[in-house]
């Protein structure tokens, strides 16, 4: 795979929210390809982040696509709000379409998983979003197997593989993500995004496994040279 096809997405979760417009402008000037917007509702993930008002403000200044990662229960209730806020893509958790009921207090101990999802409902929602020219991604947590999403891979524009348990920036990368991406690549030839603990140290392994979009939060924003950090992800040293 040519590294010219590798995209770098900046997660605003690690940006300085008091100077968000400045950080966005600097990172875009450095060459970031898109913005990853982590929306958490304190049910799917043990944290609350931000929602449509903040995303609308980002949309006013951003010059690259906005990919909203909806870490939330019943995300379909809020699709219209995020579309109106200006997102170009929505990544929806497979775990939100599970048949099993989940006790919310479990998210403080382990991220949610699903073995079988309501594929018909997901397909219906995907069709509604695509009819509005919104890119549809499906997200899987670390403990959710690839087999859970195989039935809907023909209804998505991308797959987002979580390489940490969702909730907080700065977590260490989960090594088992690599074989998971390789397994997914056997079933799916579209964009594979990876979110969590992505750095120049594991970028080459992720790309070799089949990832095409590397999402980074703290690695990018803690760098003193945004352009160099982006290049180290896009063209990692062998």
User: Model's pTM, two decimal places?
Assistant: 0.94
Q: What phi and psi, each to the nearest 5 degrees, are found at residue 71? A: -85, 75
Residue spans of the domains in the chain: they are 3-234
Beta strands 7-11; 213-216: pairing state: parallel
Active site includes 143?
Answer: no
Is the CB of residue 222 less than 8 Å from the CB of residue 11?
Answer: no
Across the range 104-121, mean pLDDT stands at 84
pLDDT tens figures, 54-92: 999 999 999 999 999 999 999 999 999 999 999 999 999
Catalytic residue among 23, 38, 67, 89: 38
Say whether pLDDT at 104 is over 80: no
Total number of residues shown for the chain: 238
pLDDT for position 43? 84
Active site includes 195?
Answer: yes
pLDDT band per the 50, 70, 90 thresholds, residue 45:
confident
Catalytic residue among 23, 67, 89, 195: 195
Look at domain 3-234 and name its CATH class: alpha beta
Round to whole Å and give the CA distance between 132 and 139. 20
Round to whole Å and give the CA distance between 229 and 215. 12
Q: What is the mean pLDDT of the chain?
A: 93
pLDDT for position 100? 72
Round to whole Å and give the CA distance between 120 and 157. 17
Q: Look up residue 151 and give its two tokens.
A: 């039935």
């Amino acid at each position: 795979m040519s590294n010219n096809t590798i995209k770098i997405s900046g997660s605003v979760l690690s940006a300085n929210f008091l100077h968000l417009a400045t950080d966005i402008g600097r990172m875009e000037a450095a060459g970031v390809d898109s913005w990853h917007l982590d929306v958490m509702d304190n049910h799917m993930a043990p944290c609350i982040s931000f929602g449509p008002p903040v995303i609308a403000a980002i949309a006013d200044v951003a010059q690259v696509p906005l990919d909203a990662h909806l870490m939330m229960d019943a995300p379909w209730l809020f699709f219209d709000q995020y579309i109106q806020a200006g997102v170009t893509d929505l990544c929806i958790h497979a775990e939100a379409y599970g048949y099993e009921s989940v006790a919310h207090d479990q998210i403080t101990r382990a991220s949610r998983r699903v073995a079988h999802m309501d594929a018909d409902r997901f397909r219906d929602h995907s069709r509604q979003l695509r009819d509005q020219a919104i890119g549809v991604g499906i997200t899987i947590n670390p403990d959710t197997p690839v087999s859970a999403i195989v039935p809907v891979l023909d209804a998505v524009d991308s797959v987002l593989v979580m390489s940490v348990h969702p909730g907080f920036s700065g977590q260490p990368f989960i090594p088992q993500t690599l074989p998971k991406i390789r397994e997914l690549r056997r079933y799916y030839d579209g964009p594979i995004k990876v979110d969590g603990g992505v750095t120049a140290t594991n970028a080459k392994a992720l790309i070799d496994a089949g990832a095409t979009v590397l999402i980074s939060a703290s690695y990018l924003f803690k760098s003193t040279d945004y352009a160099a950090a982006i290049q180290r992800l896009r063209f990692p040293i062998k």
